[in-house]
Structure 1
Amino acid sequence: MAEPDAPRVALLVTCLVDMIRPAIGFASVRLLEAAGCTVHVPRQTCCGQPNWNSGDRAGAQALARTMIAAMQGYDYVVVPSGSCAATVIKDYPAILAGEPEEAAARDLAGRTHEIVSFLTDVRGVEGVEAQLSARATYHDSCSGLRSLGIKEQPRRLLASVAGLELAEMEDAEVCCGFGGTFCVKYPEISNKMVSNKAGNIAGTGADLLLAGDLGCLLNMAGKLSREGRGVSARHVVEVLAGETETPPIGEA
């Protein structure tokens, strides 16, 4: 239970989590509350990443302004997605550069964190009480790794999950081929990339794939299923929170 002076955290749920995998949001709340935070879920929209990446600056600005207003008054904003977190942290100041909201964008960027990084680097969480008997492998999603430096943090917490064995895959840091609109614009290249990734995942002998971005997980889970690899997929927070009763991603 959070103390009276507990930090007030706003959960930026993300579009994919809201529409496809709400269990990730509930697991995030459980982890944040266990870390002593008071969690709020303000009304919110898309962070604007698809607009920004597609060259729609005006659309990205409009969504950034909406998000800034929604997240006012909270000590931290926490996101169960490296890509959406990186959009707020890295891109919002550029999206609103020269605009009246530029200072507010920088303020929000400074309060925003990807969830596993927040738990370890901000709240000092060293381990969790979850347990899961499985052999898992972890994919480093591009935005979390390259934009936010998230690499060791999820592995540190996963090491504390009783019964979980982590087997590192070859080229864990290589893109899975999702890349938001990349997989739509370049489907043949994307398919080759995720095929390579599926082979590396299967090569570990793992029965469970973990990652910190739902888009990447949907992409990889789909390929693993179509190829009959026998590997299920979950967001890392589901395992860390002990929330593994829901069907794996792509099987719900």
Structure 2
Amino acid sequence: MNIQLFIPCFIDQLYPTVAFNMVKVLEKVGCSVSYNTNQTCCGQPAFNAGFQEEAKSVCKKFLEDFKGDELIVAPSASCAGFVKNYYKTLFENSSLKQDVEKISSRIYEFSDFLVNVLKVEKVGAKLEGKATYHDSCAALREIGLKQEPRKLLANVEGLELVEMAENETCCGFGGTFAVKFNPISVAMADQKITNAIATDAEYLISTDMSCLMHISGCANKKGAHIKSLHLADVLASGW
């Protein structure tokens, strides 16, 4: 299958290894991937901050950059969920409405694409240790992903997955929420870290690097010894 890659801003700038690992896994399961170097942001930060007109200009560029019929795969439920759900709101009474409906049906988060499109649950990954999983708000509530990442992790040789308490509770990041309401955001992350540590897990895994960035920063500050890993990093391990 030929697919287009959408690599979100923070992964491009801060965690490029996640993108490379996603490509590694996609190619192993038989996909041919292409990357349009003109791509930039999906427009979510501006939209969430209330700047709808500014967001529209960024979103229009996204629509132009991802023209075509190939499916689009992203290592972020947050960004994929924004394109899938909120472009329709922005362009509801626009001449771009049909383009928006089409792209909404073409974009997938990484685990959603593997499990529900390719019907792949085992990629031959190996990672020794105990892990716990954080359900990001975007994956769980915007795309409806719950079992997909868990099915993939259940087939990672050597990995023991232990569920933490309140795994569906927000980690406190929420984009600009972490900046505008820092004390609340940090307190939410602290609770998430406490629940993760209670499982004795070595790794905290999620589909969203934005959540993991927030949790990892708070964990490092409080001296908590748990390593954050994106799902793509886990699935690219051991081969």
The two structures have a TM-score, normalised by structure 1, of: 0.92
Aligned with residue 33 of structure 1, among 27, 33, 40: 27
Contact 1:27–1:243, Cα closer than 8 Å, also in 2: no
Measure the CA separation in 2 of the matches of 1:35 and 1:23.
19
Measure the CA separation in 1 of the matches of 2:100 and 2:64.
10
DSSP 3-state at the match of 1:192: helix
Bigger shift: 95-104 or 117-126? 95-104
4+ residue runs of structure 1 moved beyond 4 angstroms? none
Partner of 2:165: 170
1:208 deviates by 0.7
Amino acid at match of 2:165: E
Partner of 2:212: 217
Partner of 2:64: 69
Partner of 2:186: 191
Measure the CA separation in 2 of the matches of 1:21 and 1:184.
20
The two structures have a TM-score, normalised by structure 2, of: 0.97
1:96 deviates by 1.3
CA-based RMSD of the aligned residues comes to: 1.2
Measure the CA separation in 2 of the matches of 1:102 and 1:54.
23
1:37 deviates by 1.5
Contact 2:201–2:226, Cα closer than 8 Å, also in 1: yes
Deviation track 1:135-154 (CA, whole Å, cap 9, x = no partner) reads 11110000110010111011
Task: Write out aligned runs for 1:1-252 (5 A).
Answer: 7-42=1-36, 43-242=38-237
Contact 2:29–2:123, Cα closer than 8 Å, also in 1: no
Amino acid at match of 1:80: P
Contact 1:131–1:164, Cα closer than 8 Å, also in 2: yes
Contact 1:17–1:25, Cα closer than 8 Å, also in 2: yes
Measure the CA separation in 1 of the matches of 2:30 and 2:58.
30
Runs of 5+ consecutive residues of structure 1 not aligned to the other structure: 1-6, 245-252
Identity of aligned residues (%): 38
Deviation track 1:38-65 (CA, whole Å, cap 9, x = no partner) reads 1011120110001111111111111111
Runs of 5+ consecutive residues of structure 2 not aligned to the other structure: none
Amino acid at match of 2:33: V
Give the number of equivalent residue pairs. Answer: 238
Measure the CA separation in 2 of the matches of 1:243 and 1:196.
31
DSSP 3-state at the match of 1:140: coil
Measure the CA separation in 2 of the matches of 1:212 and 1:59.
27
